[in-house]
Structure 1
Amino acid sequence: MVTTIALTGLATAASVVALTLTAHGTAPMPLEWGTGPLTVAALPRITYVAHRGGAHEVPENSMSGLMTAYRRGTAQVLDFDTRLLRDGTPVVFHDETLNRTTYLGGEVRGLDAREWQGVRLRPRDVLPGSWRSERPPTVAEVLDRFGGRIVLMLEAKDPRSLDRLAGLIRARGLTRSVFVNSNDPGVARRAHRLGLLTQVWRSARQMRTDRPERWRSYVDLLDVDHRARDADLTRAVNSGIARVWAHTVVTDTQRDRVLALGCTGVITDAPGRLARIAALEAWQAREARQDAQRDARRALQRGARPWRA
């Protein structure tokens, strides 16, 4: 049952101009695809993930938010959550109920696809910029909009949705482009058997007793809590799982700690801010190296012995 809480000032238009992309199967192949869709093999050594699209910067789990993160280019992976409607339609949504982020109340699983058309997200007042209300997308819509153009990460909040999600991913040729996330290693094992890229997220409390090396045969990405103890993070990094990324990072201090401990990815609510900081630091380091090289060349030209730190 769905209870109306409020419904004022709604608009169906997204707050940013969408890229002109047609439905799956009819769109021309983007130039960056080469001979196929963008896959995890293209990810950089240190990867930034826009958590729920970047929930401190855009409306979470919204098409306009995901599009904004994509257009800004501050993250190499877009993350979103999925729920299952009453009729089995997978939709992009985090909570079990509509209350926190929409103008309605009630359980998500109480709606069918037709009723979902009437749901509108309620952007938070604290978000930067101006945002309009919009319908939360379906998983199929997000895969059609972004699949193969950027790596995606979706959390299967309802394990019953796994077969349906696998079908959507396989039908679009995205099995190497989409991580399927769960807190349950058992769900990851099932996803692995379905030929999907698997991800397991764990809380700091869970990590105290986890032995992630036991999962390395079927987990492609271990998603760890940045608040975990150093020893637990180090054990995760040394587990033999190929990728270990930390959530949910929002400050440069948090980012620097997890990277220093060996994590190779940052899952963040503020990808724009952290990516700008990272880019600035990389630029400053590059400028310092170039200055040192110039000084060394000048010293050699003067016949002096170059100084070394």
Structure 2
Amino acid sequence: MPAYGVGMVTRTALTGIAGLTSLALVGQAGAVAPLEWGAGPLTVSALPRVVYTAHRGGAREVPENSMSGLMTAYERGTAQVLDLDTRILRDGTMVVMHDATLNRTTYMGGPVQALDRRDWQGVRLRPRAALPGSWRSERPPTLAEVLDRFGGRVVLMTEAKDPRSLATLAAMIRKRGLTRSVLVNSNHPAVALRTHRMGLLSQLWRSARQMRTDRPERWRPFVDVLDVDHRARDRDLVRAVRSGIPRVWAHTVVTPAQRDRALALGCDGVITDAPGRLARTEGQRTPGRWRAGQRGARP
């Protein structure tokens, strides 16, 4: 964890979301540390009532799971949580990558787990042509690089794509004192339970189909965030909200109408590929805004 001297000056960083303002300290070296740190890192308990998460850094606005994308999302301040996906290489190195193969997002091909740390140095991301702005190709980061750059400065959400990596992931989070600052996400209740037993913050995501038969109240003892599909039926979303799980966030939201429906049904956060777009429309009433009890989720 970086040290900060007494010669700090205070600045106000507007998040771009109406009503949400955070104060940060800027050190002489230019590093930013939230005032909420006190004697330690920013934690989940410091999050606002309604939370915006930049899914893969905001994959419709920046190159997904890239260091430049995560930095851009952090600096824009339009999300209070940065989401990323993790996989493990054959030598145990944890890296940031969504897919099991390199084919979709890089200039290379083949399985991620076939590489080691040295191989990873040669991987280069291929930014999507449809992204706004101009983006340079770059190496996808390791998890250690992301934790060291953002850990404690913003809440992180890490999806453990390889459940066998959980012990390694836990050790990295504990070593940096980030057990209350990093959410570990999975689609599997058993993995969420293991995460909780390791002393980490557990997040469980569920699809609209899974939510039809889920009984989320059973997970209340060990799930900190329930991550629900915004396309689910109204009654399934309401059941999740009423489960007693502390936080219920809807994924993957990309339009104001989708956000408004999820919040109206009781969700207290959204996970979005377009945090900048949603921030610009915060506080604006969407025509035909959804109300609790309405039927027929929009696609």
Give the TM interval when normalised to the shorter protein: 0.7 to 0.9
| TM-score (normalised: structure 2) | 0.84
SS in 2 for 1:105: coil
Structure 1 stretches of 4+ with a deviation exceeding 4 A read none
Identify which of 71, 75, 87 aligns with 2:75: 71
After superposition, the Cα gap between the structure-2 partners of 1:88 and 1:213, relative to the gap in structure 1 and judged at 3 Å, is same
The CA deviation at 1:102 is 0.2
Who is 1:254 aligned against? 258
Who is 1:62 aligned against? 66
1:44-78 deviation digits (Å, cap 9, x = unpaired): 00000000000000000000000000000000000
The answer to whether structure 1 residue 126 and structure 2 residue 141 are counterparts is: no
After superposition, the Cα gap between the structure-2 partners of 1:31 and 1:277, relative to the gap in structure 1 and judged at 3 Å, is closer
The answer to whether structure 1 residue 185 and structure 2 residue 186 are counterparts is: no
Who wins on radius of gyration, i.e. which is larger? Answer: 1
Who is 1:99 aligned against? 103
Q: What is the alpha-carbon distance in structure 2 between the residues aligned to residue 276 and residue 73 of structure 1?
A: 12
Who is 1:80 aligned against? 84
The CA deviation at 1:276 is 1.5
The CA deviation at 1:165 is 0.3
- The 5 A counterparts of 1:73-222 are 73-222=77-226
Q: What is the alpha-carbon distance in structure 2 between the residues aligned to residue 123 and residue 28 of structure 1?
A: 27
- The 5 A counterparts of 1:1-20 are none
SS in 1 for 2:109: strand
Q: What is the alpha-carbon distance in structure 1 between the residues aligned to residue 250 and residue 94 of structure 2?
A: 26
The answer to whether structure 1 residue 51 and structure 2 residue 51 are counterparts is: no
Are the aligned partners of 2:32 and 2:153 in contact in 1 as well (CA < 8 Å)? no
Structure 2 counterpart of 1:30, one-letter code = A
SS in 2 for 1:134: coil
TM-align CA RMSD? 1.7
The answer to whether structure 1 residue 30 and structure 2 residue 27 are counterparts is: no
Structure 2 counterpart of 1:208, one-letter code = R
| TM-score (normalised: structure 1) | 0.81
Structure 1 counterpart of 2:60, one-letter code = H
SS in 2 for 1:278: coil
Q: What is the alpha-carbon distance in structure 2 between the residues aligned to residue 274 and residue 214 of structure 1?
A: 32
Structure 1 counterpart of 2:93, one-letter code = T
Who is 2:14 aligned against? none
Are the aligned partners of 2:34 and 2:153 in contact in 1 as well (CA < 8 Å)? no
Are the aligned partners of 2:50 and 2:269 in contact in 1 as well (CA < 8 Å)? yes
Structure 2 counterpart of 1:153, one-letter code = M
Structure 1 counterpart of 2:83, one-letter code = D
SS in 1 for 2:62: coil
Q: What is the alpha-carbon distance in structure 1 between the residues aligned to residue 88 and residue 104 of structure 2?
A: 17
Structure 1 residue runs without a partner (length 5+): 1-19, 22-26, 282-309
The answer to whether structure 1 residue 39 and structure 2 residue 46 are counterparts is: no
SS in 2 for 1:104: coil
1:212-265 deviation digits (Å, cap 9, x = unpaired): 100000000000000000010000000010000000000000000000000000
SS in 1 for 2:184: strand
After superposition, the Cα gap between the structure-2 partners of 1:110 and 1:246, relative to the gap in structure 1 and judged at 3 Å, is same
1:174-218 deviation digits (Å, cap 9, x = unpaired): 000000000000001000010000000000000000001000000
Who is 1:223 aligned against? 227
The CA deviation at 1:30 is 3.0
Q: What is the alpha-carbon distance in structure 2 between the residues aligned to residue 183 and residue 120 of structure 1?
A: 28
State the percentage of identical aligned residues.
77
Structure 1 counterpart of 2:205, one-letter code = W
Q: What is the alpha-carbon distance in structure 2 between the residues aligned to residue 106 and residue 31 of structure 1?
A: 40
Q: What is the alpha-carbon distance in structure 2 between the residues aligned to residue 276 and residue 242 of structure 1?
A: 27
Q: What is the alpha-carbon distance in structure 2 between the residues aligned to residue 28 and residue 250 of structure 1?
A: 31
